[in-house]
Structure 1
Amino acid sequence: MQYDCAIIGGGPAGLNAALVLGRARRNIILFDNNKPRNAVTHESHGFITRDGVKPSEFRMIAHREISRYPSAEIANHEITAVSKDNDIFQLMTREGRTVEAKNIILATGLKEILPDISGIHDFYGTSLFSCPYCDGWELRDKRLVIISEGQNIFHMAKLVHNWSRDIILCTNGQQNLTSEQKAKLQSKNIQVFEQRISGFIGQSGHLQQVTFEDGSTVNRAGGFVTPVWVQAVSFGERLGCETNQMGGYVTDSYGKTNIHGVYAAGDASVIAPAQLIIAAAEGSRAAIGVNTALTEAEFE
């Protein structure tokens, strides 16, 4: 069987794309390897009617809704290779199954690389997070730390200041703040620590102290860290998809890449903050793009 579209990735972007295309009566298959980026997340926020939903519950609801549409199939398999021949895509699963599709939607998301600091993974997802819009409310008015080795640390400090006025910034040995930025932070009582971090002290993922290589410590109850984001898989690059400065796929207003038949949605296109509601909207956008292309082809 040749599908109208194969969707790679079972996060909110892929799930919403499957829903829209299923409702459009397109024969589609969604590949979900059940390895979500937000596996460490206890609750997802900022999605109206689903604020505070557990990621596993969100997926269960989505699968149930998609299953109402007989032309939509969900396959719990990992795709290991994608190729294109005569405008038809061949997708290979880890088990060796080959699937053909007229279009594909890359909803594979991103992979986050945290700073190389001992013990950081023990606290990430419980008291250290990456998105203030997702978890700032839960950390409101607490003593917070912002850890960033990149140039966006000043922006993050200004953003987190909305939720707490007790903030410190840790650059982990990097000199990534200008003297003007430091002066502005000092005026807001935000202290900057430029020495390297040696680790963290806390219990059951709940942060209590940040420790530095010079032997000093500072009490903190949580905070935010800025990871480096990279594509979770490289299917798009292998197919020739153009990428932007952030490493995301360049798309038009309907999620279409520069490669005919290839669409990208959600975090894979990196055009907005990595939030569930935005990723889901991106999935809907790409699905409409696919359905529009299929409809136009039928009338040529």
Structure 2
Amino acid sequence: MKFDYEVLIIGGGPAGLSAALALGRMSRTALVCDDSRPRNAASSHLNNFPTRDGIHPAEWRKLVRKDLEKYNTIRFFEGSVLSVERSGSGFIARLSSDKIFHFKKVILAYGVEDKYLQVPGYKELWGKSIFHCPYCHGFEVRGSKLGLIGNGDTLFYMLPLIYDLASDLVIFTNGKAEFKEEQRNLLERKNIRFIEDKITGFIYEGEKLKSISFENGENVERDGLYALPTFPFKLKSTIGEKLRCEKDQFGFYKVGEKGKTSVDGVYACGDNASGAHSVLLAAASGGMAGAGIVHELLSEKLSE
């Protein structure tokens, strides 16, 4: 079979771009498909990335693409991948341009889709005053009045990080609290208030959160808010599922050390393959997946 490219990379974020860099460095051919839906589009900065701490996400992607220009085996398609199917020893993919290409391997790097609380103001404040990660957005709101939306055991995993950031912390369970006795005792001992009433909206000015309103008419002033994810995560595409890649209870693809999924020839990296979500870790994951595929491709070539 004649292949148009050795590798199809679905997703042009940190994971996909880093995978492309690894492939380009080893002169492997790859097509990066980017439908321009970056998860961090709402944020004005990305952090915790050496030499680029605080850079705008779009600028970071622009710089990586600039790095990739010297690798003439890497190409980009601005659009989405509609389908991928097994075809002989490789895969056939249909793009949103309605063109069809053949590939030896596939990298799923399309990340996850954040679920917004369906109340006024939440989506508008996402990535600005409402965050999912204190490593990404903690330093900027340290020492302020913070809130934490969540419930159950997952909340208490995040609690130490937010508690240390806040001058005053309030927990919002958005319904009946599902806390164990020892968890309730901890909150009482640390004088951490929790509110079980339903959230009805967010009051804000520009990108700045002012207060949170509830069904009972109460308003609680907050400067920033952290929201725990609801499981399982929703991925940005179902291509992996249609290829029969196995997933775990959190909605992530099950992968080996170098990103190989349960399906031969298919790798996954970035936010869709791990609960550790940051640009730095997604990029590292993408680099590993790219290296894994390079080794697989060259091992196959040697065995021909």
Normalization by structure 2: what TM-score?
0.95
Corresponding residue for residue 191 of structure 1: 193
Tell me the SS of whatever aligns to 2:9: strand
CA 279–63 in structure 1, closer or farther in 2 if over 3 Å, else same? same
What value does the CA root-mean-square deviation take over the aligned residues? Answer: 1.2
Tell me the SS of whatever aligns to 1:113: coil
Corresponding residue for residue 144 of structure 1: 146
1:86-112 CA distance string (max 9 Å, x none) = 121111111201111100100010011
Query: What is the percentage of aligned positions where both structures have the same residue?
Result: 34
**Residues 145, 167 of structure 1: 8 Å contact kept:** yes
1:116-160 CA distance string (max 9 Å, x none) = 333211211111111111001111000001112564122222221
- How far apart in 1 are the matches of 2:177 and 2:271? 29
Structure 2: which amino acid aligns with 1:88? G
Corresponding residue for residue 166 of structure 1: 168
Tell me the SS of whatever aligns to 2:119: coil
Corresponding residue for residue 230 of structure 1: 234
- How far apart in 2 are the matches of 1:160 and 1:18? 35
Corresponding residue to 2:202 among 200, 203, 211 = 200
Corresponding residue to 2:261 among 257, 262, 269 = 257
CA 106–150 in structure 1, closer or farther in 2 if over 3 Å, else same? farther
- How far apart in 2 are the matches of 1:169 and 1:147? 6
Normalization by structure 1: what TM-score?
0.96
1:31-72 CA distance string (max 9 Å, x none) = 111111111011000111111010110111011101111111
Q: Where does structure 1 lack aligned partners over 5 or more consecutive residues?
A: none
Q: Where does structure 2 lack aligned partners over 5 or more consecutive residues?
A: none
**Residues 145, 224 of structure 2: 8 Å contact kept:** yes
Corresponding residue for residue 132 of structure 1: 134
Corresponding residue for residue 9 of structure 2: 7
Q: Which runs of 4+ in 1 moved over 3 A?
A: none
The alignment status of 1:287 with 2:290, answered yes or no, reads yes
1:235-261 CA distance string (max 9 Å, x none) = 111001011111111111111111110
Corresponding residue for residue 121 of structure 2: 119
Structure 1: which amino acid aligns with 2:7? C
Tell me the SS of whatever aligns to 1:146: strand
**Residues 84, 90 of structure 1: 8 Å contact kept:** yes
**Residues 103, 290 of structure 1: 8 Å contact kept:** yes
- How far apart in 1 are the matches of 2:258 and 2:26? 16
Corresponding residue for residue 278 of structure 2: 275
Structure 2: which amino acid aligns with 1:179? E
**Residues 81, 92 of structure 1: 8 Å contact kept:** yes
Structure 2: which amino acid aligns with 1:267? D
Of 146-155 and 232-241, the range deviating more from structure 2? 146-155
- How far apart in 2 are the matches of 1:10 and 1:177? 40
1:228-284 CA distance string (max 9 Å, x none) = 3211101111001011111111111111111110000001112x4210000000000
**Residues 172, 194 of structure 1: 8 Å contact kept:** yes
Corresponding residue for residue 52 of structure 2: 50
Corresponding residue for residue 297 of structure 1: 300
Tell me the SS of whatever aligns to 1:22: helix
**Residues 114, 227 of structure 1: 8 Å contact kept:** no
**Residues 148, 225 of structure 2: 8 Å contact kept:** yes
Of 222-231 and 244-253, the range deviating more from structure 2? 222-231
**Residues 139, 223 of structure 1: 8 Å contact kept:** no
**Residues 202, 212 of structure 2: 8 Å contact kept:** yes
Corresponding residue to 1:240 among 235, 244, 258 = 244
Structure 1: which amino acid aligns with 2:147? V
Tell me the SS of whatever aligns to 1:152: helix
**Residues 9, 109 of structure 1: 8 Å contact kept:** yes
Structure 2: which amino acid aligns with 1:135? H
Of 121-130 and 275-284, the range deviating more from structure 2? 121-130
- How far apart in 2 are the matches of 1:212 and 1:224? 17
Structure 2: which amino acid aligns with 1:21? L
- How far apart in 2 are the matches of 1:231 and 1:149? 22
Tell me the SS of whatever aligns to 1:47: coil
- How far apart in 1 are the matches of 2:147 and 2:31? 43
